[in-house]
Amino acid sequence: MSSHDWNEFPFADSAFEYSGAGLMRGWSRLHQGDCEPFPDAARIKTLLKASPQLVGGLPQELSNNPKALAEALQSAWRHYHAGQFQKAYEEGVALGALGAVVAAKAAGIYANYLEDDEEFAKTLFLDAAERAEEASGIMPREANTHYQRAYNLGRYSQSISIAKALAQGLAGKVKDSLETVLSLSPDHAEANTALAMFHCEVISSVGSVVGGLTYGAKRDAAIRLFDKSLALHPESAIARMEYGNGLLLLFGDKREDEVVELYESAAAAEPADAMEKLDIEQAKAELE
């Protein structure tokens, strides 16, 4: 992946640089959407005790040093939040399954928003999904390993068309992973949004009857999930954007006023990091 030049994040802002203790202070807001625990030494010890096989994927000099591992993982997250997605990805990959979530999130967000080469974007989505799936086998109780598998398979599905993704059996994998996330972490706002979009995209692609019978996709379930996501993370621009997108898929222009209101609310949000800035810029572009 490193041999391909990654584009730079075009909205660099010192406010997104969470140096020193700033990362811990900002963590709850930064991860309000995905409920990822702060990676301090105590957290690393807990993960290593629960999943001893994690050690096999770690650099030898770090394998018995939870403090150093925590600092390495925090560094990857700092790069991610600042929009230095390639550095975040590379530092996450270097930590094996322990860094899979940050690596997958960096690759997925970068590919979704900043990569011009569609084929490389697809490669990144699949790479991230595979890393997350492997990590979920090692750490099955970690919700975000399952979420990053679902997110990246979902974005890959969108890149090849939902109809093709359904034919390839990807829909079931996405749904299964999202339902696993919500069984482990019911207040995972991003997973609630993603599962809502799953319902919308399936219904839009195959209709409500086939969607309901074959995939369990329901309009009322989508609306309920969108509402829950916004209740969990009121500041989220992407939750509003996806809610608007979902309404368009389900109802066309019949609820256009609501869609515009959701986009406008998303565009007016205040970003806490690079990902949120990209979400907000997308909302602004939709309104042009």
Angle (CA) 124-226-220 rounded to 5° is: 120
Give the three-state DSSP class for 99.
Answer: helix
Position 120 scores a pLDDT of 97
pLDDT of 1 reads 60
Angle at 145 (CA atoms; ends 86, 149), nearest 5 degrees: 75
Tens of pLDDT, residue by residue over 115-174, are 999 999 999 999 999 999 999 999 999 999 999 999 999 999 989 988 888 889 898 999
What does the alpha-carbon distance between residue 56 and residue 257 come to, in Å, rounded to a whole number?
Answer: 53
CA distances from 96 to 55, 59, 65, 226 (A): 9, 9, 15, 33
Q: Which two tokens stand for residue 159?
A: 């890149």
Distances (CA, A) of 162 to 68, 167, 206, 218: 42, 9, 10, 16
- Cβ neighbours around 14 below 10 Å, total: 7
Give CA–CA dist 226/209, Å, rounded: 21
User: 270: which residues sit within 8 A by CB, 6+ positions away?
Assistant: 235
Separation CA 53–CA 76 (nearest Å): 21
Largest Cα span, the chain: 60
Q: Which residues of the chain have pLDDT under 70?
A: 1-3
The pLDDT assigned to 196 comes to 97
**Nearest-angstrom CA–CA distance, 212 and 224:** 16
Handedness of CA 174, 117, 271, 264 (dihedral sign): negative
Sorted by where each starts, the structural domains of the chain and their CATH numbers stand as 1-185 (1.25.40), 191-288 (1.25.40)
Q: What is the SS3 string spanning 183-241? A: HHCCCCHHHHHHHHHHHHHHHHHHCHHHHHHHHCCCHHHHHHHHHHHHHHCCCCHHHHH
The per-residue pLDDT for 173 is 95
Q: What pLDDT shows up at residue 149?
A: 98
> Which token pair is 13?
């802002």
Question: What per-residue confidence (pLDDT) applies to 119?
Answer: 96
